[in-house]
Amino acid sequence: MKQQPISESSALANELLTLALGIAQKAGELLSNRPDTFDINQKSSARDFATHMDHASEKLIVSEILAARPNDGIIGEEGAARESTSGITWVIDPIDGTVNYFYNLPGWNISIAAKDEDGVLIGVVYAPTLNSLWHATRGGGAFLNDRPIRATQADLLSDSLIATGFSYDLEERVRQGEKIASLIPRVRDIRRNGAAAVDLCHVASGAVDGYFETGLKEWDLAAGGLIAREAGALVTGRNGSPAGEAMVIAAGPALYALLISEIG
């Protein structure tokens, strides 16, 4: 594949990052004016739904991107889809953690990534209720509120705080419960925060030592996965396979090896 000169690639990444940071904060302002009532549409199950605010946020994000970069592609959780003619495709979760948002719990976020033919190039995750704005560029490190961050160097399960989430599929939830039951006696504790992108960013910033979950889609993983990797975490599926819907495991190298042996 054709490689761009480093300076050209860096300039593009900075351009895309600046755009994503501004748009994420605009979407955060929109969503922070939380309505008293919601229009809800069910997706895969009664546990998997979107609100009219998910759609409003996605509309805002897409319109802002295309106003600045009309030839870019779009992949959005709530249905936005557009082929790229520029080589750049945006991957958007307009509200990651919709259930948290609906119940007025903290941790919901806006997740925006941009990818090229080599993978995710930039990622931004903004969680207004946590006063947290994470970002990363490929090869450029990871940051929380403009400060550099690194994943922890935990190397024992017994000293590790592990985050996870639960599938919308009931059978998969049962399997997840069994795995968590086996881990609880051997780890420091388990956290279930309710938003995958923030869980990945918590790995990046050391708020948790590791994270695993099944059922993630590209929009759940793209931005947070890049941020975690740029902070020194390993992010894969089972047995080192690519992270995806079947499994995501994220942690610093030593703990990652332990989680792979337990979960992978």
CATH number at residue 236: 3.40.190.80
Asked whether residue 136 falls in the same domain as residue 255, the answer is no
Within 10 A of 44 (CB to CB), how many other CB atoms are there?
10
For residue 231, being part of any structural domain is answered with yes
Query: Rounded distance, CA 120 to CA 111, Å?
Result: 13
pLDDT score at 15: 97
For residue 216, being part of any structural domain is answered with yes
For residue 51, being part of any structural domain is answered with yes
Q: Token pair for residue 123?
A: 């990622």
Model confidence pLDDT, tens digit, residues 172-217: 888 888 889 999 999 999 999 999 999 999 999 999 999 999 999 9
The CATH code of the domain that includes 20 is 3.30.540.10
Q: Tell me the mean pLDDT in the region 140-164.
A: 97
Query: Rounded distance, CA 52 to CA 199, Å?
Result: 24
Selection from 92, 91, 114 nearest residue 12 by Cα:
114
Query: Rounded distance, CA 161 to CA 154, Å?
Result: 9
Its pTM stands at 0.93
Q: Which residues of 99-258 form beta strands (DSSP E)?
A: 109-116, 119-127, 132-137, 142-144, 147-148, 161-164, 189-191, 210-213, 234-236, 248-251
Q: How confident is the model at residue 1 (pLDDT cuts 50, 70, 90)?
A: very low
Asked whether residue 140 falls in the same domain as residue 17, the answer is yes
Asked whether residue 144 falls in the same domain as residue 168, the answer is no
Selection from 224, 31, 84, 65 nearest residue 144 by Cα:
224
- What residue numbers bound the domain in which 118 lies? 6-148
Asked whether residue 163 falls in the same domain as residue 138, the answer is no
Asked whether residue 17 falls in the same domain as residue 64, the answer is yes
For residue 65, being part of any structural domain is answered with yes
For residue 1, being part of any structural domain is answered with no
Q: Token pair for residue 29?
A: 């302002």
Query: Rounded distance, CA 226 to CA 221, Å?
Result: 8
Q: What are phi and psi of 109, to 5 degrees?
A: -155, 170
Q: Is the predicted pLDDT of residue 142 greater than 50, yes or no? A: yes
